[in-house]
Structure formats: C-alpha cells, structure tokens
Homo-oligomer: A and B are copies of this chain.
C-alpha cells in the first residue's frame, strides 16, 4: 500500500489533510509542491490533478482531491483510528461543521491571505510573464482570484470577509461552551478543519477581532489542538514561505 501526499506549507488546505494522515499513523510519501514557483500549474502536476490545486492524495494510483473529500476517504479506508464519529448522529454533527468551515470560513480567511500574501507575489511578476502564468491555471475562478490578488481585493469584500470570520469565531466560541470539541465531545475532522483554515491563525490575522477577549474558549481549544503530537508534527514541517509573506503561518498583514 502506498500513500503519496502532494502539499504545500503546513497550513490551510495542505495542513487539513496532513493532520489526519499523521493522527491515523499512516505512512505516506510527502511531495512538496512549491506554490511560489507555480508548480501546481505545471503540466506534470496538472496531469495528476487537472484542477491544478494542492493538496492531492494518491492512494495506490487512485487520485483524491479536495480536503474534506480526502478526509472522509481516509475514514472510509482506514477506520482504525477514527476522526469521524462512528454513530450517524455524531457524523452528521461533524459534517455540519465541515460544511460550515468549507463554505462560510475557508474562502473568507483565504481572501485576506491572498490579499496580503499572494498579492505581493502577484505584483512582483512582470506583466507578460503574469499573463503567461495565468493562462496555465485550469480553474477560471482561480484565474480571477490571482487577478484580484494582483490588483488588490476591494475593501467591501475584505470587510465582508472579516465579518464572516467574526461570525465564525462567535459561533465556535458558543459551541465550545456546550461541548468539549467543535462537533461534540470527541476530537473530529471538524476540529482539524477549523483549526487549519482559521483557528490556528485567526488572532494573528485578525487582531481587530480581539479573539483573546471575545473567544477565550476558542483560544483554550486552539492550545489543546497545538499540543496534540500529530498536530505538532504536522506544523513542524518545512515552511518555505519567505517570512515577510507568511499569513497563516507567520506575521504578514
């Protein structure tokens, strides 16, 4: 059995399926895809994932993409150390939160990440070269996002995104007053999802939300997440992002 995991820095989507691999003690070959060099749009990578996006799981030649799909797949194939509750109601609670993170959180943190980090990269590329790079991007939405990052996202979109994060922080804080983990009293993929996409970086990325004050339970939960050996190991993976460009993993604003 061979598992290969194509990923970038241990943050956001790349982290989100790396933590389950480690939690479940699955040996995997780590293949770093350098987003700073646009390797995700190179022909060799697009041959693996036609959407040109990381991360990708290759399980004995079967390609699985999209982190929520990858994580459910890992539960289906390797159920021994479960990160999805085995009772259907628990699984539904977890999926409710995964859906919330995927649809109401991820994109909004991402807009700020792109605005602050990808924008700097995008603007550093000369016009002709930029257009050439854009042409290679398979997904039209990704092309639009790169162009928006180059010109800067508009203020209304950025403000709306911050508002969505505020809502998410309050919603998670409320939930953590009722249950120990996000989807109930067990640690699940929902915790890994929210941590990777938002929880690990929210205080640093959105200091104006004063997360420490408004969401003390979230901060406590985040420390509990960071103390998990699997999370520690995933986070200790190499970060090749230039320090000044780090959003999820560092200080960029």
Contact = CB atoms under 8 A, between A and B. Distances in A.
Nearest to A98: B69
B68 A92 contact: no
A76 B88 contact: yes
Nearest to A107: B103
A128 interface: no
* Interface of A (DSSP majority class): helix
Interface in A72-113: 72-73, 76-77, 88-89, 91-92, 95-96, 99, 102-103
A41 B172 CA distance: 23
A228 interface: no
Interface in A24-81: 62, 64-66, 68-70, 72-73, 76-77
A76 B91 CA distance: 9
A167 B76 CA distance: 31
A127 interface: no
A72 to B, nearest CB: 6
A91 B140 CA distance: 26
Nearest to A163: B140
Contacts of A99: 66, 68-69, 102
A96 B73 CA distance: 11
Nearest to A86: B76
A125 to B, nearest CB: 25
11 contacts: A64-B92, A66-B99, A69-B95, A69-B99, A70-B92, A72-B95, A73-B95, A77-B88, A99-B102, A103-B103, A140-B167
Interface of A: 62, 64-66, 68-70, 72-73, 76-77, 88-89, 91-92, 95-96, 99, 102-103, 140, 163, 167
